[in-house]
Structure 1
């Protein structure tokens, strides 16, 4: 969303350079005239130089009385250079001009960003505040309180001097972009998109650019900062505005020359001192558990390049509590063992089915993925993202939590065999053959074993599943080659089944050790 254009003067005012304003009720004994009881004026300063001060709003006029500002949504006013002022109106950033003559003060029309905040009362308070600024005619400073009066001498806005909070550290804080300055306008981050930055101790900054993940190097010397050319994954999001915002953000990162942190706000400036990027501290979501979560791969890091997963392909990972990882490698199903010690992780050599997909790029991606799995030495989980890192700490594989599909019922679904296991080898069903299983409510399972139809009884108890002896028709099929041997194996292995699991449209049958021996997909 684009904000109304802001002049350079506003951008200089946005820093909140020293003090901030909070609304507080006007309780001055002499009707807010600035005169202390008894006619003395030893606590009140009129005509103070406001330049460089900042204030937090405490209260404002509403329906002929003063009401307290909402908690948790600070309204601020900072007086900058060249008679410019600005700050936060509670939801949006604003800027205005001002002029002072003794105790007389007036504000020019305010311009602001155009975000909408959902918290009740915030937008109404913001509108009232910006409207009241236009009514201000005089002011008074008493101790740490600043009061604005309208033309009738009635207090309309009351502030307290801003006490800057302890700044958050640059390193180790999750920063979320609020707005950026593209040179022509100050622009709010598009609603629903998320642009983030995390600076680490090794001089690397990374995060989400709105669509793609990005990474770059950075150096700091005091408040000076330079950020190297950013690399990123290469996904193409359908929202053109999000892609344009991403391009602008990555370009502006390269212009950064300095930074400042006030409380929970990080501002990055260019060589002219113009604020180009403003972040607020992000509250990291609760990390997902490693096991029991479905992970979908977002990017692979090979050498100096980060690659997005090929559009239309899907690489997944599910870690179970028994030290096994399995999923789709893009074409084939894969499986491996893993061990975890704190944040350390090792993954054993992966086995997989032996399909050959026609897309060579997908097969190359699959080979790269399986190779990178063996390089994993540690892992981190931040919110809904899992990063698998090599021994150098490089995130070689980055996954995002995937929503688990709704599990189909065992009974009444036609299940088609995808792979079966012979020891540690996963064998793909011969192309041109189909092995099926249909569980009836009468405790019988029927289907095709590839050549013949078969039938057997089955017993269910929770996730336990066993089969009785299987019978079948007596045809002999000559083609394709190996079909009769495959049928014999299938009917023989049925006897080893002891339990089952269903994840969405996938059925797994497991042996007494919990190892998968059959993998079925629901027939569409």
Structure 2
């Protein structure tokens, strides 16, 4: 306190607390109680508390309690197991472009993994959740290239995940926070959007190979996609048509991390005509690392980021 005044010395802190009450009442209440405790401890020997601090405490406490319910830690069950749709990142509103799906996240409490769509690519990461504290591990993603606007959005999403240190939910709005800064806002998905994306399902359909685009800009394009197909079965086996030969094998897929591995175990031994892409097609399948589906097409990223295979139904 300054001599002759009832206003606390840290007037900027007072104004800051009022502002935080509006946007993050839980954080403001915590900070207010911390400051009040420190003031009490400093005046214990005097056995008195300044009148200015008493008025300030009551005023801010009422304001903050009017902004939310109690000083409680958020329940982890609220953030985990729910699909959240991105509505704002880095202070800018987010809305999906025509024909595009909305960026979203899903935290899996069993595996402690986050999966989602960042605007162009699907991504995955681990996370640590402790009360209101939230930290994400390094993010992995598919390697699809998109228009500049979508790529810029994706960059901001990944930056927000990297900086996130806390979270808060208020009226079905999820906030990712870095101290007092709001990094991203999410709305709780409604209705059918709550379910895991059905588009992750790759079984049943006969996928026709459209092309492979390699990272050195080479392309492999079959003259007839119907001669190069793969069909994933529910039991973990797969059927492959590679030009003039029929092949089979096994696969494993992780919808959470979009990981895919394929092993060809048997094949017919016909001699395919000159110009056949049989070997290149099979090499691509057995080099599968990550998969995703966009606009109904299946994309398989190859190991070591060497290229991407595209399939259509």
Tell me the TM-score normalized by structure 1: 0.32
**Structure number with higher helix proportion:** 2
**Structure number with higher strand proportion:** 1
Tell me the TM-score normalized by structure 2: 0.50
Greater relative contact order (Cα < 8 A, sep 6+) = 2
